[in-house]
Structure 1
Amino acid sequence: MSWLSRRRADLLAGLGLLTRLPAGRSRRGTAGGEDESEDEIDLARSAWTWPLIGLAVGAASGGVAGLLDWAGMGRLTAAGWAMAAQVLLTGGLHEDGLADMADGFGGGRDTARKLAIMRDSRVGSYGVLALVLALLIRASALAGLAHPVTGLAVAGGLGRAAMAGLLGVLPPARRDGLAAGMTRVPPMALAAGLAVPVLAAGLTLPPSRAAGACLAAIVAAGLVAGLARRQIGGHTGDVLGACAVIVEGSVLSVLAL
C-alpha cells in the first residue's frame, strides 16, 4: 500500500468511526495494523485524522449557529440547532458514550458490574442527566461566542485529540470491543493528532484564548483519564466518546468567558 493510499485509508477509517458520513466500503483490518492489504483500514493508525474530523464537524455545526443567528434567530436557539446538526453528523456517538459511562460509573458496584452496565444499550438516570447537562453546557456556551464557527471547530478538534491522548495513557479496560484493539497507536499518528488542533487554535484564536482552550482540554482529559483509571482500570470506547464531549464542553465554556 502506498503512502497516499494509507492516508486515504486512515481518513476513511476516521470518518467511518466518528461520523455517519459515507466513507466507502473499505474492509476494516486489524486495529493494530498487522497483515494490512490494499483495502484494509487501521483504526489505531487513523488517530491522526480524528482532530481533523472534529475540526470539520465543529466548523459545520458552528456554521449552522452562525447562519441562524444572522437570519435573526436567538443565539441560544441557534446554538441548540447547531448541537442538533452535530448529533446528526456524528450519529450521537460521543453522547452515547457519555451516557453509558455515567450509568456505569454511577451505578456499578465493582469493575465488572460497571463494564456490564456500560455495555447495556438501555440508558439510566445518570446517563440522562449527563446528556442533558452536556447539551445544556455546550449550547449555552456556544450562544455566548462571537465566532461560533471558530469556537466549535477548535473545541471539536481538541475533543477528538483528547480521545487519541487517552489511548496513549490508558490501557484497555476490557479484552474485547473496538477500543481494546487500539492499543498500539503509532507515535507519529498520535503526535500529529495532538498537534493539529493546537495549531488550529493558535492560528484562529488570540494567544490567551488559544492557551486557555488548550489548558481546558488538558485538564478535562486528565480528569476523565484519572476517573476512568480509578473506576474501571482503563479506557473503553464509551470513555473515549465521553472524553470528547467533556473536553468540548470545557473548551467552549472557557472560550465563552
Structure 2
Amino acid sequence: MADAETTTETTPPDWPGWTIATAICLRFWSRLPVPSLPGETDSHALPDFRAVPRALPFAALVIALPAAAVTLGAGLAGLGGLVVAVLALTALALTTGAFHEDGLADSADGLFGGHTPERRLEIMKDSRIGSYGALALGLSLLLRASLIAMILDRSGAVAAAAAVLAAAPWSRAEGLFLLATQPAARSTGAAASVGQPTVVTARIALALSLFLATGIALAAQLPVAGLLIGFALAHGATAVLSRLARRLIGGQTGDILGAAQQLAEIVIYLGLALALVWGMR
C-alpha cells in the first residue's frame, strides 16, 4: 500500500453504510475479489478508517468462511484432526494473503532483534524473515493447528468450523482496538495512512464480535464459557503487546496489529479447548 499522510481531521467522515463499509474492510484485510458497489465513489481509494472498521466483524466472518468450509468438509470426510486443521489454516492464509502472519513475523524480528526504536522499525520494514520471525510464525501455526485439531477431535467438525468462525471477528477487532488506542510508531505506512479509528468505533467492533461469536458458539454447541475465557485472554495478550510496542518502538504499526490478531486467535482457540477439557458449557 502506498504511503500517505496520516489523517488529521477530528470529525469522522460520513458513514457509508454497513454494506459498503464491509466491502472496504474485505478489500483491506483479504485477497477476496470485491466489486465496486453502488454508492462507492472510488473502490480503489485509500480507505478512511476513522469509522469504517466498525463493520470489520462482518468482513471477518466472510474472510473465515472458506477456512470454516474446509474444516467442516474435511472433518466430515473423516480426515485426521491435524490434517483438517492444517488445511483450514492454508485456506485462511490464501484468503488473507498471509496478511497477519507477515505482521507477526516482522514484529517478532523487529521487537526482539533491534536495540533502538529506529533499528527495530527498520528491521520490521525489511521483507526478509529472521530467526525470531521464523520461530514466531512456526509456533503460531503449530499452536493454532493443534488447538483446532483438539476441538475437532473432542467436539466434531461442526464445532471446529464454528471455532474458526467465532475467532475471526474478535481477533481482528483486538488489532483494531490497539490501532484506536495507541499512537502510530511511524508517520508513514499502512497503519498511519488509513487514519486512526475512534475508540467508539473499536468498541462497536468488539461488541458486534461478541454478539456474532456468541451466536455461532450457541448454534454449534461450543462452550460459551470457553469463548469468554478466550476473549479475556485475547484482550490481555493485546494489552501486553501494546505496552511492549509502546516501550520498544513508541507505538503501533501495521505489523503490530497483525501480531495482535495472531495472538488473539491462538488464545481464543486455547480458551475453547480448555473449556472442552474442563467440561464447561
Q: Is the 8 A contact 2:48 2:195 kept in 1?
A: no
**1:38 counterpart residue number:** 41
Q: Is the 8 A contact 1:63 1:148 kept in 2?
A: no
Deviation at 1:191, TM superposition (A): 2.4
In the alignment, residue 108 of structure 2 is paired with which amino acid? A
In the alignment, residue 250 of structure 2 is paired with which amino acid? G
Q: 1:7 pairs with 15, 18, 31, which one?
A: 18
Q: Secondary structure at the match of 1:256?
A: helix
Q: Distance in 1 between matches of 2:72 and 2:20?
A: 33
Deviation at 1:65, TM superposition (A): 1.6
Q: 1:9-61, CA deviations, whole angstroms, 9 ceiling, x for partnerless residues? A: 322321111000112368xxxxxxxxxx8335423322112222223333431
**1:245 counterpart residue number:** 262
Question: Which deviates further from its counterpart, 189-198 or 167-176?
Answer: 189-198
Q: Distance in 1 between matches of 2:138 and 2:81?
A: 19
Matches for 1:183-198 after TM superposition, within 5 Å: 183-198=195-210
2:203 corresponds to 1:152: no
5+ unaligned residues in a row in structure 1: which ranges?
Answer: 27-36
Q: Is the 8 A contact 2:30 2:95 kept in 1?
A: yes
Deviation at 1:182, TM superposition (A): 4.2
Q: 1:164 pairs with 172, 176, 187, which one?
A: 176
**TM-score w.r.t. length of structure 2:** 0.81
Q: Secondary structure at the match of 2:79?
A: coil
Aligned residues: 246
Q: Is the 8 A contact 2:101 2:259 kept in 1?
A: yes
Q: Distance in 1 between matches of 2:228 and 2:266?
A: 16
Matches for 1:36-75 after TM superposition, within 5 Å: 38-39=41-42, 41-75=47-81
Q: 1:81-120, CA deviations, whole angstroms, 9 ceiling, x for partnerless residues? A: 0000000000000000001001101111100000000001
C-alpha spacing 1:207/1:71, structure 2 compared with 1 (3 Å)? closer
In the alignment, residue 41 of structure 2 is paired with which amino acid? E
Q: Distance in 2 between matches of 1:44 and 1:163?
A: 14
Q: Is the 8 A contact 1:99 1:123 kept in 2?
A: yes
Deviation at 1:188, TM superposition (A): 4.2
Q: 2:111 pairs with 105, 109, 133, which one?
A: 105
In the alignment, residue 93 of structure 1 is paired with which amino acid? F
In the alignment, residue 217 of structure 1 is paired with which amino acid? A
Q: Secondary structure at the match of 2:207?
A: helix
Q: Is the 8 A contact 1:216 1:250 kept in 2?
A: yes
**1:218 counterpart residue number:** 235
Q: 1:158-183, CA deviations, whole angstroms, 9 ceiling, x for partnerless residues? A: 11010111012210000111211344
C-alpha spacing 1:253/1:207, structure 2 compared with 1 (3 Å)? closer
**1:181 counterpart residue number:** 193
Question: Which deviates further from its counterpart, 11-20 or 188-197?
Answer: 188-197
Provide the aligned C-alpha RMSD in A: 2.0
Deviation at 1:216, TM superposition (A): 1.6
In the alignment, residue 142 of structure 1 is paired with which amino acid? I
Deviation at 1:208, TM superposition (A): 1.6
Q: Secondary structure at the match of 2:185?
A: coil
Q: Secondary structure at the match of 2:251?
A: coil
Question: Which deviates further from its counterpart, 214-223 or 116-125?
Answer: 214-223
C-alpha spacing 1:253/1:59, structure 2 compared with 1 (3 Å)? farther
Q: Distance in 2 between matches of 1:126 and 1:190?
A: 30
Percent identity of the aligned residues? 35
Question: Which deviates further from its counterpart, 196-205 or 142-151?
Answer: 196-205
Q: Is the 8 A contact 2:49 2:195 kept in 1?
A: no
C-alpha spacing 1:213/1:59, structure 2 compared with 1 (3 Å)? farther
